[in-house]
């Protein structure tokens, strides 16, 4: 690869231009919270799975389960998008830093070339005669010898400059190769994001179509079925005696996070949103903890993987409850057996029973102690 100023400047500008386009703010999609789906006795096993809303006297329990399935699939696709989104954000930032290094490296190389050129011109002006002739023509041999020493020093300095120029050129080559590799990975993740986005939109569109086929009275009955399913699950959870052990007091940061999250109740769910007008489930929990002074991972799966895990019996207000075996949904425990969460598309942020959905586990964003610890 040539190390000339034009080539390197062009490379840097190309990288910067590419990054400007690729790093433009995009929607940061996150895990939509699916409707809870505890089984209900009496559901008809023979109800058509493809379009239960299309038959007379439709089985609304089958419709509820089908909707739950569609939103669960949307949640999984959203996690794929989230993973790609996280990588593209990181890679875009890395490319920006590489572009800065390329520009600075080129500026340094230009300066070194100028210094080397000045040194060469100086040596040329004093180097026209052999040393013996200069000695004979010199009025003061000592001055000549002093001048000779300075020339030797200058030659050594010039050699050092050349060595530094060579190292700088090699650095620029390395930066350019690294930028090319990262750019290719960024492009691959952009494609993965686009594919995941299509999956999410497909599942949500199918769910919305299914709901649109219902009459108003059926929609109301369906909403009741959803609430009843949540209540049954919550009742069973509380029946285990879990609340007797849930006496953990929140930390100051935990209280701030709960205050932020509960203040958003009533705002709409929007997948990929992080406020302030709408949120998805992990957008709500991550922003609540940002408001409390702590940055946590953006997605529910990353929160499950990276944050400290605690037993359900030990959770305290501010802890995050991760739901479903794929960690595709998250809510914030607020005490008294309740959670605040952003459920799914078409729903608003609400307070629900902490046990109204299948719990995978609990994670703790802060490690501060409470008055009881």
The residues that are catalytic are 281, 329, 341
Crossing angle (nearest 10°) for helices 60-126 and 5-22: 160
Contact indicator for 141, 135 with CB cutoff of 8 Å: yes
DSSP, collapsed to helix, strand or coil, labels residue 210 as helix
Give the integer Cα–Cα distance in Å for 210 and 261. Answer: 31
Q: Write out the H or E segment, with its range, that includes residue 331.
A: strand 329-335
Give the integer Cα–Cα distance in Å for 247 and 162. Answer: 70
- Radius of gyration over alpha carbons of the chain, in Å? 33
Q: How many CB atoms lie within 10 A of CB 294?
A: 18
Buried b (16+ CB within 10 A) or exposed e, 309-335: eeebeebbbbbbbbbbebbbbbbbbbb
Q: How many CB atoms lie within 10 A of CB 197?
A: 21
Crossing angle (nearest 10°) for helices 5-22 and 141-212: 20
Q: What share of the chain is helix, strand, coil (3-state, %, to 5)?
A: 60, 10, 30
Q: DSSP secondary-structure letter at 356?
A: S
Residue 57 burial (10 A CB sphere; 0-12, 13-18, 19+)? exposed
Contact indicator for 345, 271 with CB cutoff of 8 Å: yes
DSSP bridge partners of 322: 330, 361
How big is the chain, counted in residues?
373
Strands 329-335 and 320-323: antiparallel
Contact indicator for 266, 342 with CB cutoff of 8 Å: no
DSSP bridge partners of 330: 322
């Amino acid at each position: 690869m040539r190390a000339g100023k034009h080539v390197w400047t062009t490379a840097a500008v190309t990288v910067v231009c590419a990054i400007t386009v690729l790093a433009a703010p995009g929607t940061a999609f996150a895990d939509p919270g699916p409707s809870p789906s505890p089984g209900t006795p009496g559901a008809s096993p023979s109800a058509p799975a493809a379009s239960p809303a299309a038959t007379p006297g439709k089985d609304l329990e089958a419709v509820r389960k089908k909707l739950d399935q569609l939103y669960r699939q949307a949640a999984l696709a959203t996690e794929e998008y989230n993973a790609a989104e996280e990588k593209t954000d990181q890679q875009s930032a890395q490319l920006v830093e590489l572009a800065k290094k390329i520009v600075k490296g080129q500026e340094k190389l230009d300066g070194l070339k100028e210094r080397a050129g000045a040194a060469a011109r100086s040596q040329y002006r004093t180097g026209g005669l052999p040393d013996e002739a200069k000695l004979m023509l010199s009025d003061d041999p000592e001055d000549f010898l002093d001048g000779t020493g300075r020339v030797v020093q200058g030659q050594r300095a010039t050699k050092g400059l050349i060595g530094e120029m060579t190292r700088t050129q090699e650095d620029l080559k390395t930066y350019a190769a690294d930028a090319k590799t990262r750019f290719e990975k960024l492009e691959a993740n952009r494609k993965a994001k686009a594919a995941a986005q299509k999956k999410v939109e497909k599942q949500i569109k199918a769910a919305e179509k299914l709901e649109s086929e219902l009459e108003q009275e059926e929609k109301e009955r369906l909403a009741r079925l959803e609430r009843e399913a949540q209540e049954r699950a919550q009742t069973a959870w509380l029946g285990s005696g879990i609340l007797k052990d849930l006496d953990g007091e929140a930390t100051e940061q935990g209280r701030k996070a709960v205050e932020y999250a509960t203040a958003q109740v009533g705002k709409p769910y929007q997948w990929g949103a992080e406020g302030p007008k709408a949120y998805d489930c992990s957008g709500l929990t991550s922003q609540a903890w940002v408001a409390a002074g702590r940055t946590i991972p953006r997605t529910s799966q990353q929160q499950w993987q990276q944050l400290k895990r605690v037993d359900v019996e030990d959770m305290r207000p501010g802890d995050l409850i991760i739901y479903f075996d794929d960690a595709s949904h998250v809510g914030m425990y607020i005490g008294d057996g309740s959670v605040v969460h952003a459920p799914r598309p078409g729903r608003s942020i609400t307070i629900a029973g902490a046990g109204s959905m299948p719990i995978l586990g609990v994670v703790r964003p802060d490690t501060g102690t409470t008055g009881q610890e």
